[in-house]
Amino acid sequence: MEELIKQLEKQIIEQLNLEDLEPEDIDPDEPLFGDGLGLDSIDALELIVLLEKQYGIKIENPKEGQKIFYSIRTMAEYITKHKK
């Protein structure tokens, strides 16, 4: 799980062009949206693409997004459970 979290931190920085950040700057339990990393709605769409492109996971129910993308740890847990 910890390895996957580190990988996700790197992928998110790259995919979302968060060039000011290093992986170690991101707290895996911090909220990705709102007060945490301050991501926006376009970033949310990029995260959906990232899950599909890197892990082959398609989110069928958009309502799940809020829970899956709460933090990097919740993303990692979802990937571990659903990776094909």
Task: State the Cα–Cα distance between residues 79 and 21, nearest whole angstrom.
Answer: 23
**Given the rule CB under 8 A, which of 3-11, 22-30, 41-49, 74-82 is the region that contacts other proteins?**
41-49
Interface with other proteins includes 49 (CB under 8 A)? Answer: yes
Q: Whose CA is closest to 5, among 25, 23, 31, 32? A: 23
Interface with other proteins includes 10 (CB under 8 A)? Answer: no
Question: What does the DSSP 8-state code read for residue 39?
Answer: B
Options 26, 43, 68, 72; binder of other proteins; rule CB under 8 A: 43
Options 6, 46, 74, 77; binder of other proteins; rule CB under 8 A: 46
59: amino acid identity, one letter: I
